[in-house]
């Protein structure tokens, strides 16, 4: 239907929404690809991470990192768009993450609340603080979702690991809208 709208001058609003939907789908694809590749770069410096594939949790790790990546981009929307477009993009990001994995919508909302809460309590005052918080989100979430795997618990206290992962993610997605 999109091609007919373009050829015959269909509803421009619908075409703009299709464009935003495509843009968000590309964002989620890039966020997931980045999540999948970042594990290997971390495991060399943090051999403790080998426990994640041993527990068959690599797919879940990738999912949580994808959510963090999308969350990083979502946090920036209001800085790059007017309020009307901000609402459109936030809505489309939520729809897109739901299309990708329905349960992830709730986790994306949790990510936003987590970062906003830390910011409101003045615990995030720099990009380094943000990076550490994002990394903590990933490993704490992974553990909380799999608390029966007590082998994961030590990963929830690794500040250097939090910072390393969070730095990779913020470097990759901090200027997404530019």
Pick from 41, 45, 81: which is nearest to 172 by CA? 41
**C-alpha–C-alpha distance, residues 164 and 135, integer Å:** 7
- Note whether 152 and 55 are within 8 A (CB): yes
Q: What is the DSSP secondary structure assignment for residue 44, as one 8-state letter?
A: T
Give the other-Cβ count within 10 Å of 122's Cβ.
Answer: 8
Q: Is residue 116 part of a domain?
A: yes
Q: Hey, CA dihedral for 129, 135, 141, 144, is it positive or negative?
A: negative
Find out whether 166 and 72 touch, Cβ atoms under 8 Å. no
Q: Is residue 4 part of a domain?
A: no
Number of domains in the chain: 1
In a domain, 62, yes or no: yes
Rounded Cα gap, residues 93 and 74, in angstroms: 7
Question: Is 150 inside a domain boundary?
Answer: yes
Per the structure, the complete domain to which residue 51 belongs is given by 12-173
Is 35 a member of any domain? yes
- pLDDT by 10s per residue, the chain, length 178: 444 444 444 454 545 668 889 999 999 999 999 999 999 999 999 999 999 999 999 999 999 999 999 999 999 999 999 999 999 999 999 999 999 999 999 999 999 999 999 999 999 999 999 999 999 999 999 999 998 999 999 999 999 999 999 999 999 999 998 8
């Amino acid at each position: 239907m999109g091609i007919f709208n373009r050829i015959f001058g269909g509803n421009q609003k619908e075409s703009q929404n299709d464009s935003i939907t495509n843009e968000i789908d590309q964002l989620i694809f890039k966020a997931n690809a980045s999540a999948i590749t970042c594990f290997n770069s971390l495991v060399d410096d943090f051999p403790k991470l080998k426990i994640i594939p041993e527990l068959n949790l690599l797919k879940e790790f990738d999912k949580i990192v994808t959510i963090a990546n999308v969350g990083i981009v979502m946090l920036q929307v209001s800085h790059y768009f007017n309020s009307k477009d901000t609402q459109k993009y936030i809505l489309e990001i939520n729809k897109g993450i739901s299309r990708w994995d329905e349960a992830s919508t709730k986790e994306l909302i949790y990510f936003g609340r987590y970062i906003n809460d830390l910011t409101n309590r003045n615990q995030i005052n720099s990009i380094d603080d943000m990076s550490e918080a994002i990394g903590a989100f990933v490993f704490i979430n992974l553990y909380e979702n799999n608390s029966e795997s007590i082998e994961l618990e030590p990963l929830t206290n690794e500040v250097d690991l939090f910072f390393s992962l969070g730095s990779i993610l913020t470097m990759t997605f901090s200027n997404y809208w530019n």
